[in-house]
Amino acid sequence: MSSPILSIENLNVSFKTSKGIVKANEDVSLQIREGEILGLIGETGCGKTTLGKAILRLLSGKAKLEGKIMYRDKDLLTLPEKEMRLLRGKEIGIILQNPSACLNPVLSTGKQIAEIYRYHEIMGKKEAEKKAGEMLELVGISSSRGCDYPHQFSGGMLQRVMVAIGLAIRPGLLIADEPTKGLDPDTKLQIAELIVGLVRKENASMLLITHDLELAGRLADRISVMYAGEIVEMGMAEEIISSPKHPYTLDLLRSLPGKGFGTVSGHPPSLVSPPSGCRYHQRCRFRFEACSLAHPALRELEGERFIRCLLSEKGRRKETAAQPLLTLQPVLRCSEEGIWRC
């Protein structure tokens, strides 16, 4: 097994707001290995972007961060800002979800890519502009369009420009935050495959942030499922998709458009005052009394599978799965071993 390029230990991120302290990430621990693509999924507002930005210390001054984030041998939460600036873009690239807000409207796209090389003082102006053209070609845009401004590009093309910027200096780790948001289904897949193809070619690693479980299942090696600021399930992508163990993951899978179910019913809880016990218990079809009282820990099951659910504790699963408090039309059944299947 390859060593981690990124290791996050017990990360807590909170924001002081007028409504109270928003606990956007709580006790988050995960690793991304060399050459690995980790999908981070969860509903809107669960804390995915917070985690991605925390890695690069891009959160606003209101954010309080505790825990440890190691990139190779660098401790990112204590690294001096000067070193952090050198690391951003060069060792860890980021693609944010809204290209038109991230790009400078009065600078040509070619110049914006060239600026990265100039900023990191890798090469001179002429060479940087030539390299920017090559990057555009790499992401499927003619280098002649380097003179064009962001408003002259479609959403999909702009996202390609963001990919070129994110990967310009061949970072070891790429954080891609909803890189396909707002694109039509065909463009979405093309962009996602483009990013993954380039990352794989470089043997780089990636944190792929998305609310799209299907996309993560198709492109990631492993998946972390986040709910209300916490990781609730983590494992190999194909296993998460074929046999989800946390009721939330199961509900996410059931809500895929292809299954015709719509979104997961109910609303995520407040991150200012989350419910006691399991954060998902109010929406969970398998809840039992203890779920509203005891906060489950993230436990490791066999084969690097992690789950934060009281049902995963021995003896509970069968008993409870057999008698869910709420029974929706079951596409579920409980197998002999007590593992749920879609």
Ligand X SMILES: Nc1ncnc2c1ncn2[C@@H]1O[C@H](COP(=O)(O)OP(=O)(O)OP(=O)(O)O)[C@@H](O)[C@H]1O
Residues forming contacts to ligand X in the complex (CB under 6 A) are 15, 17, 22, 24, 42, 44-50, 60, 62, 211, 271
Is residue 162 within 8 Å of residue 116, measured between CB atoms? Answer: no
Span interacting with Ni ion, options 8-16, 45-53, 161-169, 224-232, rule CB under 5 A: 45-53
By C-beta, is 6 or 132 nearer to ligand X? 6
**What is the C-alpha to C-alpha distance for residues 53 and 76, in angstroms, rounded to an integer?**
12
Enumerate residues 6+ apart whose C-beta is below 8 A from 339. Answer: 243, 245
**Binding at 15: pick from ligand X, Ni ion, none (beta carbon under 5-8 Å per type):** ligand X
**Binding at 18: pick from Ni ion, ligand X, none (beta carbon under 5-8 Å per type):** none
Half-sphere exposure at residue 37, Cβ-oriented, CA atoms within 13 angstroms:
27
**What is the C-alpha to C-alpha distance for residues 265 and 280, in angstroms, rounded to an integer?**
12
By C-beta, is 62 or 201 nearer to ligand X? 62
At its nearest, how many Å lie between ligand X and the CB of residue 55? 12
At its nearest, how many Å lie between Ni ion and the CB of residue 105? 23
25 interacts with Ni ion by CB under 5 A: no
Q: Contact with Ni ion (CB under 5 A): which of 49, 180, 224, 312?
A: 49
Is residue 130 within 8 Å of residue 118, measured between CB atoms? Answer: no
By C-beta, is 63 or 240 nearer to ligand X? 63
Among 253, 276, 280, 255, smallest CA distance to 268 is for 280
By C-beta, is 213 or 309 nearer to Ni ion? 213
At its nearest, how many Å lie between Ni ion and the CB of residue 177? 6
Is residue 150 within 8 Å of residue 158, measured between CB atoms? Answer: yes
By C-beta, is 181 or 316 nearer to Ni ion? 181
**What is the C-alpha to C-alpha distance for residues 51 and 22, in angstroms, rounded to an integer?**
14
At its nearest, how many Å lie between ligand X and the CB of residue 97? 7
**What is the C-alpha to C-alpha distance for residues 226 and 248, in angstroms, rounded to an integer?**
9
Q: Provide the pairing of β-strand 205-210 with 173-177.
A: parallel
Binders of Ni ion among residues 65 to 84 (CB under 5 A) are none
Interacting residues with Ni ion (CB under 5 A): 48-49
